[in-house]
Structure formats: C-alpha cells, structure tokens
Structure 1
Amino acid sequence: MDDFVSKYVNRLDSKGRVSIPAPFRQILVREGLDSLFCSPSLELDAVDAGGLGLRGAIDTYLEAFDVFSEEREVLATALLGESESLKIDKDGRVVLSETIKEHAGITDAVSFVGNGFKFQIWQPERYEAYRADATKRALALRKAAGNRRTTSAGGGA
C-alpha cells in the first residue's frame, strides 16, 4: 500500500507553480492520475490533497448519509463543491489556484505534509505552529491511551 508520508517544503516559481514532491507524484502516477485532487480542509488552514484514496474516503464518508439529506448536501458542498482538480505538468508541477492559496495563506512557499491516504498543503509557518500543537496533543493522547490499557489490563482502580 502506498501512503503519503514525510514533509517537504517547496517554493512557488514566478508563474505560481510548485513542484509536487517526487514520492507523492509517484503515488499519483501509480494510480494513473495526471491531476491532483484538492479540497480545502473544513477545520484547518490547509488543503487536503491526493488521488484516489482521498476521493474514495470522501465518497465513503458521504455514503453514510441519505442521498438527499441536508447533512449530505452540506458535506458534499464543502468537500466536493469547493474542491479542485489541478493538472500536473510534465515536470511534476501544479498551479495553485487563488482560492487554494487564500484558504491556506500561501504566498511564496508550500509545505506538503503526508497523512497516509492523503497529504496536506500548508503555508510553512502555519504548519509549524500546527505541528507544535499537534505534537503536544499527540503526547497527551498517547499517555491517556497508555493509562487506559494499564487500567484495563491490570483491573486497577
């Protein structure tokens, strides 16, 4: 299974293009894609990006709702209606739309951050602030999970 992992920072060129990291491009090529699916994150100042894995995850998520329900309509509008398909050029670059750049606060550089079945596109300083907070929260979650396992295994009080 191919997963998007690691972090890369690339600069936008004078024409507003940015190179997708080679390991990420390789996954998209193996999926038979020549474009990048992008959807603004609902909760973060970032853009979710990827290929068939991301599209499949969104479709699976939406299937949990009645096809004409208000919940599905709202989610489909936010996740699909605001999404974009960016053409990847022969050199592995895409042009980020103004909508994407505005949502993520991108001006001259982009952080590409692997998240398994998808990756995220961030403005680098915003990502570093998020990463610092996420690391603290992850440590707290790991500690809480460890405490639950110890309590469950030991039958403690």
Structure 2
Amino acid sequence: MNRFLSNATKKIDAKGRVSVPAVFRTVLAERGIEELYCFQDFIFPAISIGGPDLLDRFERQIDQEDPFSADANDMSLLIHGGGVFMKLDAEGRLMVTDFIRDFTGIGREITFVGRADHFQLWEPQAFQAAQAAARKARFGGRSGA
C-alpha cells in the first residue's frame, strides 16, 4: 500500500490536535515522509498534504515557465505563499492550526481524504457535498452510482 486511499472523519482534541488515520501514517512511513508539505488546494476548500516531493513537482513546473510570466508568479503564490511545512508528533497527531482552519472552515471534526500521492484535510460537510457533486457530475444522477 503506497497510495493514500479512502476517507475518515476524526475529532480534534481540546489541544487542537487530530490523530492522522493509521492507514495514512503507514503510507507516510513507507514513503519515508517525515516532513509534510501542506498547501491550500487550488480548487477545493481543503488543505493538501504530501511530502517534499510534492513541492518539488510543483517547482519543476514553475521552472519550465518564464520566471517573469503571470503563470509562474501565480503558481508561486499558490504553492509557496499558500504552503507550510508541518510534522506529526510522536503519537501521529497533526496540529490543526489557524492556517488549516481559516482556509477550510474546519471546526471540531476533520475529514482526511486520500488523493493517491497526497491526502487532504476537509471540513466534513464540505467534503460530503463536494463528493456528492462530483458523483452527480460524473454519473448524471444515475441510480446505482
């Protein structure tokens, strides 16, 4: 298992920490990821989290652009200006900071969502609504979908 799959909703403790699902921690360990690159998603009200290789991938994209172009500058604003590095504590918990809360609207619960090479943090109802909208767009509301 080397991909982030599925989703899980967890409660945030009184100190503002949340336990990362064990299956996600396993993927982080298998990939040797200790420092988490967290950024404000480009489309959804979610925080996307991966390893430094995720940041490297975005920076390679910027390197292919003219450094003075609007595209390169926009991308840098998103991945550098909208990103931070974080670490899990010894118990596998993540601190739910204002950086996360302000962008997502997360309150007392948080939904972890697998996205193959990274995972996301969502406000639970926002995730359910986005997933339902994606399903409806994909399947046109057909039954059995």
Q: Same fold (TM over 0.5)?
A: yes
Unpaired runs of at least 5, structure 2: 141-145
The answer for the alignment partner of 1:144 in structure 2 is none
Residue 74 of structure 2 corresponds to which residue in structure 1? 74
Give 3-state SS (helix, strand or coil) of 1:81's partner: coil
Post-superposition offset of 1:24 = 1.2
Question: What secondary structure sits across from 1:84 in the alignment?
Answer: strand
Structure 1 runs (4+) greater than 6 angstroms displaced: none
For residues 86-97 of structure 1, the aligned pairs below 5 Å read: 86-97=86-97
Separation in 1, partners of 2:137, 2:64: 29
After the TM superposition, which of the residue ranges 33-42 and 56-65 deviates more from structure 2?
Answer: 56-65
User: How has the CA–CA distance of structure 1 residues 80 and 36 changed in structure 2, closer, same or farther, with 3 Å as cutoff?
Assistant: same
Counterpart mapping for 1:51-62 below 5 A? 51-62=51-62
Count of matched residue positions in the alignment of Structure 1 and Structure 2:
140
Partner of 1:124: 124
Residue 128 of structure 1 and its aligned partner are, at CA, apart by 0.5
Rg larger in structure: 1
**CA shift digits 1:32-58 (9 cap, x unpaired):** 232321100122111111214532432
RMSD after superposition? 1.7
Q: Percent identity?
A: 31
TM-score by length of 2: 0.87
Alignment of structure 1 residues 72-151 onto 2, 5 Å: 72-140=72-140
SS at the partner of 1:49? strand
CA distance, structure 1, for counterparts of residue 30 and residue 68 of structure 2 = 34
Unaligned runs of 5+ in 1: 141-157
What is the rounded CA distance, in whole Å, between the counterparts of 2:61 and 2:105 in structure 1? Answer: 27
Could you tell me which residue of structure 1 aligns to residue 10 of structure 2?
A: 10
Residue aligning to 2:143: none
